[in-house]
Structure 1
Amino acid sequence: MRAAIEPDPERPVTPAARLLETCFLTIYSGTCRLYRPLRHVIGALVLTVFALMVAAVVQIYPVSNWDMVAYTASVLESDISDPIELHDRSYALLKENVSEGEFQALTGDREYRIRQFEDPDAFATMLGFYRLKLGYVETARALSAFMDPVKSLRMISMLSAVAVAGVLLVWLARHGALMYGPIVVAMLIIADFGGSAALLSPDLYASIFLLLAGFLYIERQDLAAAASLIAALFIRPDHLAFIGVFFVFALIYGPGRWVMTATFVLSALAYAFVLKGESHPGWWIHLWFTHVEYVPTLEGFDPPMSPVIYLQMLVRSTVRSLMSNTWLAALLALVIFFAKVIKPAQMADRARILLYAIFTSICAKYLVFPHYETRFYFPYLIAMGTILLIAWHQQDKTASRSNPA
């Protein structure tokens, strides 16, 4: 047991303070002795319970956003070709699955939502933003055989929360690091895991496959990692940025270079196919729509490219990231941890390659499309954190063996 505090000659320790310190250290030491043999079980349990709690909250207290209407329509349009019928059915399903107050907010609280609710043709022009998430839409469509599309979208969010935790548990267990479960939970909270799970969006679903790809690549399962990356691409095509950066780093450093090269080529072809086949309005219109204004219809909308407006988007997005989101702070903390704690030369080659590729891809993605919401960076932040946590764990074990107490 650690000794009690030594008295300071300039500030004598009272008997009450000494007793309090002794009691605290006794309790602390006893807790550590009980915790140590069970630390892996406790760490796994904390992470599992947290993920199940988030999944339960997603189902019990679902969050409603306007995108759920568009995703619902994307699921339905394989069976409904008439724009008016598709519009009416999508909003009818929305009304069945949200409260009256939420329905009013999603259909009447601003000009854009009012126009989408009242104008089926304007609504139809928006679906190009959503139907290109083929993997997400097709999964919801498959689940719609058993439940309505809105419930299927919520089911995907719930199962994605559990699956993300499952991948992280396997990753930690593989490296004997399950005791860090509480730290991973803290990382998940900072990276807005709960918010990503609550929204009906493909972000967390794609995160499963991105995290799985990272784990499989480190485990030298290159073909399985490639398949996971392609799955993530079909769920959210903008992950092509990461696949491209990852391929470059693999090509330079060596491990997995040919598989990742083939993965990038296939992904680029798939990306071009998806964007052409699913009527996406294009990069600049999407950027304008996200950062300048929600135009009520994309029919005939074609704003000229402007470097000045693009710079304004970057500044505005950065301010919003700093004021109301956590991803920049989390990224900075991870970079500082790497610089101050980790010895890169002692990291496994594949872990180091993956870490560098993730960091570079975050910067590249932000320059290409400056998203300000943390959910867009969730899988990258969690993968970086997990890599660094395991590297720290391995280096600490090596140091302990080299310098036994």
Structure 2
Amino acid sequence: MNPVARLLETTFHAIWGPLSGLYQAQRHLLGALVLLVFTAMTMAVVTVYPQSNWDMLAYTATVLEDQIDDPVSLHDKAYELVRNDISEGAYLTLTEDRGYRVRQANDPAAFASMMGFYDLKLGYVETAKFLARFTDPVTALRWISTASAALTGLILLRWLARYKAMAAGPVVVSLLLLCAFGPTAALLSPDLYASAFLLLCFYLYCEKQDIGAALCLLAALLIRPDHLAFIGVFFAFCAIYGPGRLIMTLTFAAAAAAYLLILKDEGHPGWWIHMWFTHVEYVETLEGFDPPFSIVTYAQMLVRSTVRSLTNQTWIAVLFAQAVFFARCINAPAMPIRSRVLLYAIFTSILAKYFVFPHYETRFYFPYLMGMGMILLITRLRQDRGLMS
């Protein structure tokens, strides 16, 4: 080895050795600190640099519906509140970016026809209404996003702490980055709010706290009713394997009943119309809109969504990596039965949800990918320590 290379090697080891020793001695504290700092940073960024999306107009209107009956006044007030909250350029994007947004900004009836997509997120809407007693509706929605980010980080930290795995904090942060935690927190949507309850459910179920897990599932359903797909799959696996069978059976029955009532009472336009609106075209008004079901169109939706997922999103790559990690690095028969049931249910529900409604954005799979990641991470650590049952 030449003198320059020897000097570089000596310098590297002189720096790396003490740092590695310090990390090993304080790895749990440092790992927890990394996760906490990342969570706090995310909260700060979405607070100081808030994002705007068209859905915030509709959700603002849902918060105001109890106060304003007239569709024209409701439309005008919602747009006024959002305009006061965001920059002029962002507002122009939300109102003049495309024909759909132009129509919504200028036609209160067309805007009102869209409300069935949003009114059914009862848990999200009611939370925002409560917070709007203390601030304006748009700020209330932002508070929910920020609090959801904080709650998510704390749940993950508690999960790591329970299994003395806080040193894996940087690994969890990496998974959060891959699963679009920051962009999801920045949106004014119920996605991260429901995700926090799902992650808490996963943790509680692994800890044999079935009633708490069931309550979290029902909360997630009220925030985003489409999580019924996971509840149904989870109930099936619990019924097959045994742990939590009774509680999850009752939970699924209650969730299914609540789902039907919500869809009936809140005027949702229906599965096929929602699919068409999301994957074919943003029709400017839903009044009189009733496209016939087509298996060819449905297949085109699946193909189009898959291509968009592969080219613009990360969730398929993360799911594939987790499946490979499970196959190569996990002793499945030795896993705790509850971890195995939950892992199988989450994986199956992702596939089921995709075929029922092929969302292409990673944010829709965030809680499931994080739940699988935490189960695999904890299982591998316990396996390495010789603690597998």
Map of 1:44 onto structure 2: 32
What TM-score results when the alignment is normalised by the length of structure 2?
A: 0.98
Structure 1 counterpart of 2:311 = 323
Q: C-alpha deviations, 1:270-317, integer Å up to 9, x for none? A: 000100000000000000000000000000000000000000000000
* 1:78 Cα offset (Å): 1.1
- Structure 1 residue 104, shift from structure 2 partner: 1.1
Shift of 1:178: 0.4
Name which of 158, 169, 173 aligns with 1:170.
158
Number of paired residues? 388
Give the Cα separation in 1 of the matches to 2:15 and 2:374: 31
Letter in 2 for 1:43: G
Q: 1:246 aligns with which of 200, 221, 234?
A: 234
Deviation at 1:32, TM superposition (A): 1.9
Q: Which amino acid aligns with 1:210?
A: L
Determine the structure 2 residue equivalent to 1:375: 363
CA distance in 2, matches of 1:51, 1:332: 26
Given the two structures, how large is their TM-score scaled by the length of structure 1?
0.94
| Counterpart position of 1:293 | 281
- What is the CA-CA distance between 1:254 and the residue it aligns to? 0.5
User: What is the rounded CA distance, in whole Å, between the counterparts of 1:25 and 1:256 in structure 2?
Assistant: 52
Residue in structure 1 matched with residue 222 of structure 2 by the alignment: 234
Structure 1 residue 200 and structure 2 residue 188: aligned?
yes
Query: What letter is aligned with 2:190?
Result: P
Tell me the alpha carbon deviations over residues 206-249 of structure 1, each in whole angstroms, 9 at most, x when there is no partner: 01100000000000000000000000000000000000000001
Q: 2:17 aligns with which of 21, 29, 32?
A: 29
User: Structure 1 residue 83: deviation in Å?
Assistant: 0.5
Partner SS, residue 398 of structure 1: coil
Q: Is 1:113 aligned to residue 105 of structure 2?
A: no
* Structure 1 residues 265-284: aligned runs within 5 Å: 265-284=253-272
Q: Distance in 2 between matches of 1:314 and 1:109?
A: 26
The one-letter amino acid paired with 1:319 is: V
Q: Within the alignment, does 1:257 sit opposite 2:237 as a pair?
A: no
* Cα distance in 1 between the residues matched to 2:206 and 2:386: 19
Cα distance in 2, alignment partners of residues 26 and 118 from structure 1: 67
Give the partner amino acid of 2:158. Answer: V
Secondary structure at the aligned position of 1:78 is classed as: coil
Alpha-carbon distance in structure 1 between the residues aligned to 2:25 and 2:133 = 47
> What are the ranges of 5 or more consecutive residues in structure 1 without an aligned counterpart?
1-12
- 1:17 Cα deviation after fit: 1.9
Q: C-alpha distance in 1, partners of 2:269/2:91? A: 28
Match of 2:43 in 1: 55
* Aligned alpha-carbon RMSD (Å): 1.1
Q: Confirm whether residue 74 of structure 1 aligns to residue 48 of structure 2.
A: no
| Corresponding residue for residue 127 of structure 2 | 139
| Bigger Cα displacement from structure 2, 164-173 vs 99-108 | 99-108
- Residue 370 of structure 1 and its aligned partner are, at CA, apart by 0.1
More off after superposition, 122-131 vs 338-347:
338-347
Aligned counterpart in structure 2 of residue 332 of structure 1, from 291, 301, 320: 320
Write the letter of the residue equivalent to 2:97: D
What's the % identity of the aligned pairs? 62
Shift of 1:26: 3.7
Give the whole-Å Cα distance in 2 for the aligned partners of 1:185 and 1:101. Answer: 33
* Deviation of the 1:16 alpha carbon: 2.7
